[in-house]
Structure 1
Amino acid sequence: MDWRLLVSGFLVNLVFFYSIFDIYFTSPLVHGMRPVSVPSEAPAKRLVLFVADGLRADKFFELDANRKSRAPFLRSVIEETGAWGISHTRVPTESRPGHVALIAGFYEDVSAVAKGWKENPVDFDSVFNQSRETWSWGSPDILPMFAKGASGDHVHVHMYPEQSEDFAGANLKNLDLWVFEKLKVCSAALVNSPWLFVSLHSDKIVFFLHLLGLDTNGHAHNPLSREYLDNIGVVDKGIKEINDLFKDFYRDDKTAFVFSADHGMTNWGSHGAGHPSETLTPLVVWGAGVRHAKPAHSQQRYPDAYSNEWSLSHVHRTDVNQADIAPLMSCLVGLPFPLNSVGILPLDLLSVDDKFKAQSIYANAQQIIAQFDIKMQQKKDSTLRLLFRPFSPLAPAAEEEKLLQIHQLIQAANYTGAIIECQSLIKLSLEGLNYYHNYDKLFLGVSIASGYIGWMAHILIRIIQNHTNLPHAKHAGIPASFWLSAKGLRIISGCLTTVVLCLLYVQSLPWTYYVYCCLPLALWHKVIQRWRFIREVFWYLNDHGLWKDVALFSLLSVAALEIIVLSFFYRELLSVALVSMAIWIIIRRDSLHDQSLVVRWSIACLVMSVFPLMPVVGRDANFPLVYAAGILTIVASLLFQRCVFFVFLTVLSACVILKWYTCHSLHTKEGLPILNQVLSWSSLVLSVVTPLLAPTQLNIRLMHIVLAFFPCYLLLSTAQEGLFLLALTVLLHLWLQVETQVTSIRIRTKVRDVDFRSAVRLGEVQRKLSLSDIRCAYFFIFFLLNGFLGTGNIASINTFDPQSVLPFLTVFSPFVMGALMMWKNLLPLLLVTCAFEGVRLCINVPMQSLFLTVLFMSDFMALNFFFLVRDEGSWLEIGTSISHYVIVMCLILFLMILLLLSRFFTSFSPRAKSKGL
């Protein structure tokens, strides 16, 4: 294997992968704006913000089986004293970006989810930062990010210990009860703290209650469970008590209350994507400055059908975007609007005079247009004057004219006209912000796409030139000009690179832009260097009349790869492909000397085809299927009649019992026994160590790898994943046998005689690629994608089920839980790669040849998804398109790591090391 090629392939695809963050995931923040506030006196002196983490709109608003509300107090607010609506969130529907949108008023870029939870990867302004004092109670995962970003020390946090966020806890509603009780204790301490008494009676103060019980109950039990639904009542009761507490304490009717959620949750207890159950959250507002309930207009139509079941169609509803809540809170308390906010003040929720509304929306427009001006100036400064394309609908002169017009309308008391003009200006400003935020998208997209095509052309030329038996045509050809000589090409390439570097330098663009622009130049330089060979190939195909065959083969290859691409959108196509593979072996049965393989392969393919038709894992836990998978694996392994496997079977049996006992203990709310936790982590360590102790004979080593991985995988399973892995293992075993019989290359070595370590030590057999090897590479990619999407475990971010990691830990830890889920998803892929290593050795094909073929196919699929990435449409469509590209690129990058891991797992032997082999 050429390690330079492996490293260069990894680096090139790493650049392609990272480019998506510069194109779509860049931070929208700009700095340098001045605070803008409403000049009139605010209707409220203080604000209380309740955020019910993970609360779905439908479960909050709907009536129970007895036609009663689960939240009677807030229901009375909706129907009598306050306003209500739906807050529409954006992807990713996670706690951090949801709270940033609520409190800071802007939608954080997706990459910030992985950059930090308790700390800010970037500095941003917020309602808390603009307040005189803010007191907050709740989770240690949310509160610190707003305290650290605040100027001064006026944001006070009160947090429970991290250990309290235990998914196995008996009463997860205690997380919310703790918040309510701590606030009551704080109010009781006023008697002994004159400073606190004075501070709490000031204006422009905020109280933030972060209620995590619903999110934790939803993850542990799902949002349809009794625990989750009862927790809604706990939250409602606590809010009523806090409402009464503030009224009794202040007695001035100057408190405004806002209740909402950061995100919703799927039926199976996860979130992150753009399903309506995740993006629709409740909004209830009442108190000072908020209008009372009013009858709904007869013309009012709701965009969602299920809201008719809430029995609230008689009450006027005001829907908002999640970022709109931040300017609403600022307006109610008289704070300057958060500097980075892109929210639009929802005037329909206010109970103030028209003058105050006009002044408020005017301040909102000034705050947003200030961001637009800085964004435009930044882009203008980093672009050549001749190349700069301004946002024409809002040129500087037009902007100044609109602002002056609005000011004159307010001075003339034409508040309605001023409001209309402000809303129009805000709309244009937001469009302009989006325009400049995506200003370089086309330029970067063209550069990366050309890089993809150049890289694929380079791989294809290298495959044809070094790894096939295609003879070269013998043509004298046309004499090459100086500019097509090696020296001429170097001069042209050097000049182009110099020009590009100069253009980038004078525009002060980020260093990553240099990489995106120079990489395609380097790749195409490599391609053009081989123009003579390309000409020879064209002449050869033309002289032998092979163009029709090449066209047909290319068409079939593209169609086969497109099936894999479409399977990301329609998992059922995986089943169609598996059925086609069963039919294929029947057509090729004459190539097999063991005809029983036809039946066994066909049955295995048909069994595997069932899994893509089953529900995505995570929607409904079905632990009996997990136990059944363990038992079937034990029975199947006993058929090998090898005593060495009984150690593994003992471990596997113990893990089945351990899984059952853990599920029983968690179901009865007895918590996770420490012994279970120790044994679970031990199985994880054994899954890595034990395969390395087995003999390196192909069949024995592969069997040890399967039996070592299975116990840990079962512990991380919640439904049919164990059965899926068993079926996949059987199919991979049959694939090994089928390839050795249908390959067009004569095989002299039997499968049972192949030794991984001996094959690696002796080096690779240098033979050329054949068409059957291309099929083998395609099967490898197909089985890898089956490992990804066969059970739907990472087809989408919201299929994550915390129940799968509960045997290892129950206290919320996003990075440890994420690592465990990654290991679970990696195990099927590692099995496929180890089987691929076995197939490669059996058919005597060099790894480099197959690696290049697989890399070309994978990059072809990645290019498909690169063109399918979109930033328009619903947030579900946007999030899905981006996640698909990220998954494919991660697959390509992991592919190179998987090849190294498979080589390690299959050929490493400590006994051989000790003997000096």
Structure 2
Amino acid sequence: MGIPVFILAGLLVHVVFLASIFDIYFSSPLVHGMTPQQTPLPPPARRLVLFVADGLRADSLFELNSNNTPQAPYLRAILENNGSWGISHTRVPTESRPGHVALIAGFYEDVSAVAKGWKENPVEFDSVFNESKYTWSWGSPDILPMFAKGATGDHVYTFCYTAESEDFGAQDAAELDTWVFDHVKSFFNSSRSNQTLFSALNEEKVVLFLHLLGIDTNGHAHRPYSKEYKENIRKVDEGVKEVVSVLESFYGNDGKTAYILTSDHGMTDWGSHGAGHPSETLTPLIAWGAGVNYPQKVTSQLFEDNFLKGISRSFNYVKMRMLLFAQADIAPLMASLIGVPFPLNSVGTLPLEYLNNTDHFKAESMFTNAVQVLEQFKVTKHMVKKKNVSLNNNYCCTVPLSDSEQINFLKKARLYIQQQKYNEAVSESTGPLYGFTFLGMIIAFFLLIQTSPWTYYVYCLLPVPVWYAVCFIYLKNCKFHLMCVVFSFFYRSTLTVGLLVFAGWPVITQLWVQAKRTTLIWTLLCVLLAVFPLMPVVGRESNIPLVIAAGLTTLLISCFSLASFSRGEYKYQSKEDLKVYLYQMFSIALSTYVVSSTHNSLKNKQGLPIFNQIISWMTLAFSSALPLLSPTLLFQRLFSILLSLMATYLLLSTGYEALFPLVLSGLLLAWIQMEQEALQHYGLSLKPKLAVFNFAYATDITQFRQLHLDDIRRSFFFVFFIVTAFFGTGNIASVNSFDPASVYCFLTVFSPFMMGGLLLLKVVIPFVLVSCAFEAVQVTTQLSSKSLFLIVLVISDIMALVSCFSQLFLLGKFAFSVLSPPCSISHYVLVMSLTIFMMLMNGLAQLLTTKRLELSRRTKHHST
């Protein structure tokens, strides 16, 4: 089998393995065909106003300022005198769309929505808005349309500002919230002269939704502890006060308006969200108005969670109604307050402590809540029976909730209500609720197994020939470091241990005897690179001076290299080659200036300078082509690749990570030299000196030598460096909750796909450096690409299995989320993705190292 066919087969197999995870787990959890359920008693409120302060942390709202004054005095007065308050617990991923879906629809988002930028509906779903008589909403074009799109009929209206308004570099992002408040007030003022609108606003079951994005935008741009973030909270507090005043005046203080203020997610100290830190998952909830309980005074209340201790000190005399209730519980609360059917796919539990109503109403509401969840159970069970007719029909009977048991449960709960035994009815309706949810998960699991679509047969049978083909490879000398690589998925610091062991490799193998200088450089760079996994993940702290220092260091190294490339064996062959190198140095200098200038401009709230933006995009566009204009001599081509990629990487850096490619590249160059020395140590080297080695004249594959035991170590070194390239400055959570400041040199207006693409480019750049270095190792040591590729695949596949089993058995983690789902799916996906990346990077590295573009040169013609 030739190399291209072999690579294609390996790529196809791993693409199938990767696709299997998305096919099995990343599918919609929703079922359809349920009967709507609503409480039969009159609701306490005619209308509901929902304020969602996007990106508002619980502690930022509830804790007192340094001078013991409240950050939001109006809302503080509400929870002390008029309403109930608590902490809502969001689920990962802590992003805007999933948070709003949980709040308004009562279920946790189908993760396949991430492929559409969290904007469109992969599957249509029901919501409180859809069940309302009318809903009017104001705010972001990223959030509002998704609830109008899935609504039946024409009763959900949206008023959005332009997408260009969501600018992280704007002078004052609080203007987004001011826009919402102003338009709401204008809307109600104008409705007095519009009889149709006036009548609609006075109907029952009306919802008003105010999406307030300014806090989130200021948090991204300036961090949650900044004056801009805190000032935005104060403006929201004032805006809420004004809107409440307008509404109460419009409705004549009829006491039929319920208010809820909450947030879709929080934010880390460094201005990001998406992962599972308490600062991201704990959000505030304040409810007041019609049907909502009044505050309850207590002598004290203490919370064990360290993140909540500051809140407990601020509110040790006003009882928190519910500690850490689920975000999806807010949807049934809103439905109960205005008397609309519970959203059909809601999995929330009605928080009774927030209701100010009779025991009869509470019992009926809980009964409705339970029946609504039971409806989902019945539909799911019917789907299971329908799709499993060819299997043992006794399967469905094993589910411990038969039809007769469902009927008995409903009759018993209804009898308690008729006998006015409301507490017993509530207890009867609540107990099975969690069981139904759990059973639904079990049913979903068995549904995936027993329906068995054809793709599942591929996933099960494909590994058999693959493992049969590769089982002869023995990896006994990689056990320790293999575990280091696997555990680095969970603990980045394990990479430090591996790098420190790497530092001693020349001593163990006696290589230091014949290459003392290279050994010293190797050891120092291993120790230096080992520091990076101990640093905080990228994005936690911005440090632009370090980025500037990285740029200046690169220029300094370039000057020394230029001196080397101008004499002796490294000498450039033409002036054109020298011009390319000088242009790359100029790009580094220009990128360094752009980073400094851009962040100073944003700090002064002057926005992104158009000149800087143009330079950034031009640098990105030309950086990939410039190495192809440089000589194909080993060190000259590798250094040209580093300079081109470094120019782009600087533009995407915000702190210490800007130094990472420099240290990594230095270690990789030392690795190339050490491997050459290792070949000479075993008497296998037939290649010329590295200084004059030319990628364009690599030895033909037919002349490649047989595998040696050291080749397994070389393959593992490659895998280890690939993993280090990813986890050296971040982790899975930091990718999910990246800092938008990384892309501010390119754009500041929110664009999820554009920003995500730039983030992916930043992640890929270290991969390219490692792959190019490994290409040099491969050709200079005359190592067969086919054999090498097979070893790398085996190591990667073993890592995938070990990562799952170590998560399951050694670490004992069972987290049901996108970031850490059962059996460490996220880590399995990462390993499979890295494997595919390594295959693709291998081809890219060959292109970058061996190919050269010849510019048209003006030649002189001499007369004969």
TM over 0.5: yes
Tell me the amino acid that sits aligned with residue 309 of structure 1.
G
Higher mean Cα deviation, 509-518 or 355-364? Answer: 509-518
- Partners of 1:187 and 1:440 lie apart in 2 by 50
Q: Offset of 1:883 from its aligned partner?
A: 3.1
Q: Offset of 1:879 from its aligned partner?
A: 5.4
Checking the alignment, whether the CA contact within 8 Å between 2:92 and 2:819 is kept in structure 1 is no
- Partners of 2:632 and 2:767 lie apart in 1 by 20
Match of 2:624 among 677, 682, 688: 688
Secondary structure (helix, strand or coil) at the match of 2:417 reads: helix
Secondary structure (helix, strand or coil) at the match of 1:606 reads: helix
Match of 2:691 in 1: 752
Q: 1:423 to 1:680 in 2, by over 3 A?
A: same
Tell me the amino acid that sits aligned with residue 372 of structure 2.
Q
Match of 1:266 among 268, 288, 297: 268
- In the TM superposition, 1:745-784 aligns within 5 A as 745-759=684-698, 762-763=700-701, 765-784=703-722
1:316 and 2:319 matched: yes
Q: 1:290 to 1:572 in 2, by over 3 A?
A: same
- In the TM superposition, 1:2-41 aligns within 5 A as 2-41=3-42
Secondary structure (helix, strand or coil) at the match of 2:395 reads: coil
Q: Offset of 1:799 from its aligned partner?
A: 4.7
1:902 and 2:845 matched: yes
1:249-279 CA-partner distances (Å, limit 9, x unpaired) = 1021100001110111111111111111111
Checking the alignment, whether the CA contact within 8 Å between 1:118 and 1:143 is kept in structure 2 is no
Checking the alignment, whether the CA contact within 8 Å between 1:793 and 1:825 is kept in structure 2 is no
1:736 and 2:672 matched: yes
- Partners of 2:621 and 2:256 lie apart in 1 by 59
- Partners of 1:740 and 1:118 lie apart in 2 by 52
For the aligned residues, what is the CA RMSD? 2.2
Match of 2:345 among 340, 343, 352: 340
Checking the alignment, whether the CA contact within 8 Å between 2:113 and 2:120 is kept in structure 1 is no
Match of 2:400 among 390, 393, 404: 393
Secondary structure (helix, strand or coil) at the match of 2:625 reads: helix
Q: Offset of 1:152 from its aligned partner?
A: 1.2
Higher mean Cα deviation, 895-904 or 115-124? Answer: 115-124
Checking the alignment, whether the CA contact within 8 Å between 2:275 and 2:733 is kept in structure 1 is no
Checking the alignment, whether the CA contact within 8 Å between 2:537 and 2:734 is kept in structure 1 is no
Q: Offset of 1:567 from its aligned partner?
A: 1.5
- In the TM superposition, 1:839-850 aligns within 5 A as 839-850=777-788
- Partners of 2:775 and 2:702 lie apart in 1 by 12
Match of 1:577 among 498, 522, 526: 498
Checking the alignment, whether the CA contact within 8 Å between 1:736 and 1:838 is kept in structure 2 is yes
Checking the alignment, whether the CA contact within 8 Å between 2:591 and 2:647 is kept in structure 1 is yes
Secondary structure (helix, strand or coil) at the match of 1:394 reads: coil
Q: Offset of 1:863 from its aligned partner?
A: 1.1
Match of 2:828 among 885, 891, 912: 885
Q: 1:144 to 1:859 in 2, by over 3 A?
A: same
1:697 and 2:636 matched: no
Checking the alignment, whether the CA contact within 8 Å between 2:814 and 2:821 is kept in structure 1 is no
- Partners of 1:128 and 1:685 lie apart in 2 by 45
Secondary structure (helix, strand or coil) at the match of 2:698 reads: helix
- In the TM superposition, 1:136-151 aligns within 5 A as 136-151=137-152
- Partners of 1:28 and 1:789 lie apart in 2 by 32
- Partners of 1:116 and 1:587 lie apart in 2 by 50
Match of 2:370 in 1: 365
Q: Offset of 1:638 from its aligned partner?
A: 1.1
- In the TM superposition, 1:64-213 aligns within 5 A as 64-213=65-214
- Partners of 2:505 and 2:382 lie apart in 1 by 61
Secondary structure (helix, strand or coil) at the match of 2:854 reads: helix
Checking the alignment, whether the CA contact within 8 Å between 2:506 and 2:512 is kept in structure 1 is no
Match of 2:527 among 571, 595, 606: 606
- In the TM superposition, 1:436-475 aligns within 5 A as 436-439=443-446, 443=449
- Partners of 1:297 and 1:367 lie apart in 2 by 38
1:36-77 CA-partner distances (Å, limit 9, x unpaired) = 111111110000000011111111110000101101111111
Checking the alignment, whether the CA contact within 8 Å between 2:73 and 2:237 is kept in structure 1 is yes
Checking the alignment, whether the CA contact within 8 Å between 2:261 and 2:287 is kept in structure 1 is yes
Q: 1:866 to 1:12 in 2, by over 3 A?
A: farther
Match of 2:861 in 1: none
Tell me the amino acid that sits aligned with residue 832 of structure 2.
M
Q: 1:696 to 1:751 in 2, by over 3 A?
A: same
- Partners of 2:293 and 2:837 lie apart in 1 by 55
Match of 1:240 in 2: 241
Q: 1:661 to 1:75 in 2, by over 3 A?
A: same
1:351 and 2:347 matched: no
Secondary structure (helix, strand or coil) at the match of 1:911 reads: coil
Q: 1:688 to 1:616 in 2, by over 3 A?
A: same
Match of 1:288 in 2: 290
Tell me the amino acid that sits aligned with residue 686 of structure 2.
I
Match of 2:591 in 1: 655
Higher mean Cα deviation, 289-298 or 69-78? Answer: 289-298
Match of 1:860 in 2: 798
1:522-569 CA-partner distances (Å, limit 9, x unpaired) = 557x66xx9xxx9xx8xxxxxxxxxxxx9xx74542222011111222
Match of 1:635 among 553, 556, 562: 556
Tell me the amino acid that sits aligned with residue 853 of structure 1.
I
1:547-604 CA-partner distances (Å, limit 9, x unpaired) = xxx9xx7454222201111122222221221111111112334476332112111111
Higher mean Cα deviation, 658-667 or 580-589? Answer: 580-589
Higher mean Cα deviation, 851-860 or 744-753? Answer: 744-753
Structure 1, unaligned runs of 5 or more: 444-506, 538-549
Number of aligned positions between the proteins = 827
- Partners of 2:733 and 2:43 lie apart in 1 by 48
- Partners of 1:827 and 1:185 lie apart in 2 by 50
1:45 and 2:54 matched: no
1:675-713 CA-partner distances (Å, limit 9, x unpaired) = 110000011012111011112222211111111111110
Q: 1:116 to 1:708 in 2, by over 3 A?
A: closer
Secondary structure (helix, strand or coil) at the match of 1:639 reads: helix
- Partners of 2:46 and 2:357 lie apart in 1 by 15
Match of 1:566 in 2: 487
Tell me the amino acid that sits aligned with residue 407 of structure 2.
E
Match of 1:824 among 762, 765, 768: 762
Q: Offset of 1:912 from its aligned partner?
A: 9.8
Match of 2:420 in 1: 413
> Could you tell me the TM-score, scaled by structure 2's length?
0.92
Q: 1:869 to 1:206 in 2, by over 3 A?
A: farther
- Partners of 2:122 and 2:511 lie apart in 1 by 62
1:827-871 CA-partner distances (Å, limit 9, x unpaired) = 111011001001101000111111111111011111122335668
Q: Offset of 1:138 from its aligned partner?
A: 0.3
- Partners of 2:25 and 2:825 lie apart in 1 by 9
1:717 and 2:657 matched: no
- Partners of 2:199 and 2:806 lie apart in 1 by 58
Checking the alignment, whether the CA contact within 8 Å between 2:129 and 2:135 is kept in structure 1 is yes
Secondary structure (helix, strand or coil) at the match of 1:604 reads: helix
Tell me the amino acid that sits aligned with residue 612 of structure 2.
N
Tell me the amino acid that sits aligned with residue 872 of structure 1.
F
Q: 1:795 to 1:853 in 2, by over 3 A?
A: farther
1:404 and 2:411 matched: yes
Query: Percent identity over the alignment?
Result: 47
- Partners of 1:843 and 1:387 lie apart in 2 by 63
Q: Offset of 1:421 from its aligned partner?
A: 0.1
Structure 2, unaligned runs of 5 or more: 567-577, 859-864
Tell me the amino acid that sits aligned with residue 586 of structure 2.
T
Checking the alignment, whether the CA contact within 8 Å between 1:754 and 1:841 is kept in structure 2 is no
Tell me the amino acid that sits aligned with residue 781 of structure 1.
V
Q: Offset of 1:186 from its aligned partner?
A: 0.3
Q: 1:780 to 1:554 in 2, by over 3 A?
A: closer
- Partners of 2:3 and 2:616 lie apart in 1 by 39
Match of 2:572 in 1: none
Checking the alignment, whether the CA contact within 8 Å between 2:800 and 2:827 is kept in structure 1 is no
Q: Offset of 1:440 from its aligned partner?
A: 5.1
Q: 1:794 to 1:99 in 2, by over 3 A?
A: same
- Partners of 2:615 and 2:12 lie apart in 1 by 39
